[in-house]
Amino acid sequence: CPVGVGCSSVEKKIYVHLNYTLPCVRLLNATHQIGCQSHLSGNVGVLHVLESEENLDWVLRSGLNPPYLVILDSPLFTRSIMMKLKNGSSRVAGVAVVAPSTNPPDGVSPHTNCPNENTGVYTEKYDPALAHCNVTVWNPLGSGLSYEEFDFPIFSLKDDNDTKVIRQLDSRSFFFDVAPGAESSVSGFVALLAAAHALRSVTQEAPPPRNILYAFFQGETFDYIGSSRMVYDMEKKHFVVDLDNIHSLLEIGQVGLRVNSSLWLHSDPVSRKNSSVDGEVKKLLESLRAGAAGLNVSLAEPSFSQPLPPSSFQRFLRARPIPGVVIQDHQSSFTNRFYESMYDNAGYLDISYPPDLTPEQQLQFVTDTATALTEVATVVARSLYAQAGGDQARLSSINADPQMVTQMLYGFLVRSNNSWFQQLVPSNLMSFLADRPTNLYVGVLNQHSELTMLVQHLLANLTGTTVNITQENCNYQREDEQDKANKHMFFYVWVQGAAPPNATEREGFCTRSTVRLTSALSPAFDLQEYTSKDYSTWTESRWKSISGRIFLVAGHELEMLTLGVGLGVLITSLLLTYAMSAKADILFSSGREPVNATY
| pLDDT tens-place string over residues 279-327 | 999 999 999 999 999 999 999 999 888 999 999 999 999 999 999 999 9
> What is the DSSP annotation of 35-88?
EE---TT----EEEEE-SGGGHHIIIII-SS--EEEEEEGGG--HHHHHHHHHT
Percent of the chain with pLDDT over 70: 92
- Residue 162: what pLDDT? 34
- Residue 148: what pLDDT? 94
Average pLDDT score over residue span 411-417: 95
- Residue 261: what pLDDT? 81
How far is residue 93's CA from residue 291's CA, in Å, rounded to a whole number? 57
Q: Which of 49-63, 146-160, 202-216, 347-361 has the lowest mean pLDDT?
A: 146-160
Indicate the burial class of 368 (C-beta count within 10 angstroms; 0-12, 13-18, 19 or more).
exposed
Average pLDDT score over residue span 374-388: 96
- Residue 238: what pLDDT? 92
DSSP annotation of 301: -
- Residue 164: what pLDDT? 26
- Calculate the CA 178 to chain-centre distance: 6
* Residue 403: other Cβ atoms inside 10 A: 15
Find the DSSP H helices in 249-306: 275-291
- Calculate the CA 285 to chain-centre distance: 32
For residue 260, give every residue at least 6 positions away whose Cβ sits within 8 Å of its Cβ, in sequence order, or none: 298
- Residue 582: what pLDDT? 82
The phi and psi torsions of 339 (rounded to 5 degrees) equal: -60, 125
The candidate with the shortest Cα–Cα distance to 141, out of 431, 396, 355, 343, is 343
pTM of structure: 0.88
Long-range contacts of 517-523 (CB under 8 A, 24+ apart): 517/448, 517/452, 517/456, 518/229, 518/230, 518/233, 518/239, 519/229, 520/217, 520/218, 520/219, 520/225, 520/226, 520/229, 521/225, 521/229, 521/445, 522/219, 522/225, 522/228, 522/229, 523/228, 523/229, 523/232
How far is residue 73's CA from residue 172's CA, in Å, rounded to a whole number? 21
How far is residue 518's CA from residue 233's CA, in Å, rounded to a whole number? 10
- Residue 583: what pLDDT? 80
Residue type, 17: H
Tens digit of pLDDT for each residue in 138-149? Answer: 999 999 999 999
* Sheet strands side by side (includes 46-50): 22-23, 154-158, 92-99, 68-73, 46-50
For residue 266, give every residue at least 6 positions away whose Cβ sits within 8 Å of its Cβ, in sequence order, or none: 301, 302, 306, 308, 309, 311, 325, 326, 327, 328
* Residue 274: other Cβ atoms inside 10 A: 13
CB neighbour burial string for 145-166, b if at least 16 within 10 angstroms, e if fewer = bbebebebbbbbbbeeeeeebb
In this model, does residue 556 exceed pLDDT 80? no
Average pLDDT score over residue span 561-571: 93
* Residue 560: other Cβ atoms inside 10 A: 11
- 139 Ramachandran zone, left/alpha/beta (phi>0; psi -120 to 50): beta
Q: How many CA atoms lie within 13 A of 359 on its CB side?
A: 10
- Calculate the CA 400 to chain-centre distance: 26
Find the DSSP H helices in 206-245: 225-235
- Residue 42: what pLDDT? 84
Average pLDDT score over residue span 15-44: 85
In this model, does residue 163 exceed pLDDT 50? no
In this model, does residue 165 exceed pLDDT 50? no
Three-state SS for 23? strand
In this model, does residue 172 exceed pLDDT 70? no
Tens digit of pLDDT for each residue in 73-112? Answer: 888 999 999 999 999 888 999 999 988 878 888 889 999 9
- Residue 168: what pLDDT? 28
Pick the more confident residue, 371 or 99.
371
Pick the more confident residue, 446 or 22.
22
* Residue 252: other Cβ atoms inside 10 A: 22
The candidate with the shortest Cα–Cα distance to 494, out of 480, 515, 477, 514, is 477
Mean pLDDT of the chain: 88
* Residue 434: other Cβ atoms inside 10 A: 15
Tens digit of pLDDT for each residue in 247-266? Answer: 999 999 999 988 788 999 99
What is the CA angle 280-285-286, rounded to 5?
95
What is the CA angle 450-455-460, rounded to 5?
135
In this model, does residue 444 exceed pLDDT 90? no
Average pLDDT score over residue span 399-426: 96
Contact criterion met (CB below 8 Å) for 83 and 143: no
Pick the more confident residue, 580 or 159.
580
